[in-house]
Structures are given as C-alpha cells and as structure tokens.
Amino acid sequence: EIVLTQSPATLSLSPGERATLSCRASQSVSSYLAWYQQKPGQAPRLLIYDSSNRATGIPARFSGSGSGTDFTLTISSLEPEDFAVYYCQQRSNWVTFGGGTKVEIK
Amino acid sequence: QVQLVQSGAEVKKPGASVKVSCKTSGYTFTGDYMHWVRQAPGQGLEWLGWINPKSGETNYAQKFQGRVTMTRDTSITTAYLELTRLRSDDTAVYFCARDLSLKGASTWYGTDYFDSWGQGTLVTVSS
C-alpha cells in the first residue's frame, strides 16, 4: 500500500498569506495525485487532479505541483473560506489518502 | 446539476450488517463509476472500492474484501453499499463519490478521482 504523509499537520496563517502544503508518497505515484478540501460537517471537494490540474470551478489561487514522491498544494492568498482540512490522494496503486493538513486562522 | 443523496444515519450492533443507499440525479448514472469512501470520527479518509454502474463490476479494497458488497439499481439510478460483520471500528461517515471522467483523444475515461460526493451517512456500531 502506498502511504501518503502530509505536512505540517496544522498550518496557522492569516487571511492574505500564502499557504504551502506538502504530501510525500512512500513510492512513486507519477503524477497521479489529487487534493481535496474538507470543511466541518461537509463532504470533501476536489481541488486538483493529476498533480496540477484544477477541477471545474476551482479558483486560480489554488495550484498544485510535483511528481514522483513529492507534491505541493499552494494557496497563493488565503481567503476566509479557505480555512479547512486538506487531503491528498493517490490513484497510482489502488487508492489511498494522506492524513490531512488543517489550515487554521492565526 | 449533479446530486448524490444518501440514506439516513444508522445505529447497528456489533456483528450486524448495514446497507447505505446513494440516489443520483443530474447525470448519466451508467456513465461513471461510483466509489465509496469512509471517515471515522475525527479521522482521515479511507477508500472502500468502486462499482461500475453499467456492468455491475466491482473492485474492493483488500481490507474490506469478504465484508463489503456494492450493488446498483439502474432503474432508479441508485448505488448501494452493504457492510457485514460490523465492528465498533466501522463507526464512520460513509460517502458515495462519483468518479471524475476526463476526455481523451477519442473517448472519455475514468480516473479514480472523486468529483461529486454524497452528503455522507453516519453509521454507528455500538452494543
């Protein structure tokens, strides 16, 4: 099973700041990685697929990069609605998710 | 618009079974695989498997093989998840999630990413 490790566990930032989230895979997943946002009591929402492609309707402040084992989700300037938990997910070998990064208001 | 509406919360005793439904609308039900994902309280996401609504073919995560069954009823565009021999650690919110389809050179293909989700069904296993 491919293990995805997300860091940091919690990111404390202010609105307007840049957020950089990391996801590391235990073995190469090529570019088969997605990012989701989840708010309390809600289902996850797909943000990015295949490492760097924004899903339909996702604002341009969200961007993804990386390949192989190291991936990054960047939120260029945090809006109030961006404070949430973010998960990465790989589809290279079955499907697994990372443990999540919580982006909280500082 | 695409909608996935799940059945209501369930409380079950250890050893029992549960069946969760996912009623879809707004798209061609047989055109996209349906996945099931669960989330234990305060925890991360865990994938259970998928069903091809067109053929009924299924693929289950190894951890759940033997305990999980995914089915569908195309006449009412509804997918189902059944989990048997429930344990306390099966307590979780269960989500159905539609597979993201992308357009290739000449056809659409599935991706094992999830672009639309149900609202979730809380299954509580407790004696």
Chain A residues contacting B via beta carbons under 8 Å: 34, 36, 43-46, 49-50, 55-56, 87, 89, 91, 94-100
What mean pLDDT do residues A27-50 have? 98
| CA-derived radius of gyration, chain B | 14
pLDDT of residue B109: 82
CA distance, residue A96 to nearest chain B CA (Å): 7
Choose from A90, A95, A97, A102 for mutation: most chain B CBs within 10 A.
Answer: A95
pLDDT of residue B102: 86
Partner residue facing B44 (CB), from A49, A94, A97 = A97
* In contact, B60 and B49? CB cutoff 8 Å: yes
pLDDT of residue B107: 84
What mean pLDDT do residues B58-64 have? 97
Tens-place pLDDT, residues B99-111: 998 888 888 888 9
Q: If we measure between CA atoms, which residue out of B85, B79, B63 comes closest to residue B117?
A: B79
- CA–CA separation, A91 and B76 (whole Å): 29
- CA–CA separation, A68 and B73 (whole Å): 39
Choose from B32, B64, B114 for mutation: most chain A CBs within 10 A.
Answer: B114
pLDDT at A81 over 90: yes
pLDDT of residue B110: 85
3-state secondary structure of B90: helix
Report the amino acid identity of residue B117.
Answer: W
CB atoms closer than 10 angstroms to residue A64? 23
Tens-place pLDDT, residues A63-78: 999 999 999 999 999 9
Assigned token pair, B107: 């056809």
B26 phi-psi bin (left φ>0, alpha ψ -120 to 50, beta other)? left
What mean pLDDT do residues B27-56 have? 97
In angstroms, how far is CA A20 from the centroid of its own chain?
9
When pLDDT is cut at 50, 70 and 90, the band that residue B65 belongs to is: very high
When pLDDT is cut at 50, 70 and 90, the band that residue A52 belongs to is: very high
Partner residue facing A87 (CB), from B45, B111, B115 = B45
Q: Which residues contact A64 (CB under 8 A, 6 or more apart)?
A: A33, A35, A47, A48, A51, A52, A53, A54, A71, A72, A73, A74
Q: Return mean pLDDT, chain B.
A: 96
Q: If we measure between CA atoms, which residue out of B85, B117, B112 comes closest to residue B101?
A: B112
What mean pLDDT do residues B36-48 have? 98
When pLDDT is cut at 50, 70 and 90, the band that residue B79 belongs to is: very high
Is the CB of residue B101 less than 8 Å away from at least one CB of chain A? no
pLDDT of residue B97: 98
Cβ distance B112 to A96 less than 8 Å, yes or no, reads: no
pLDDT of residue B10: 98
Cα angle, residue B101 at apex, residues B123 and B119 outer, rounded to 5° = 25
What percentage of chain B reaches a pLDDT higher than 90? 91
Partner residue facing B114 (CB), from A46, A96, A100 = A46
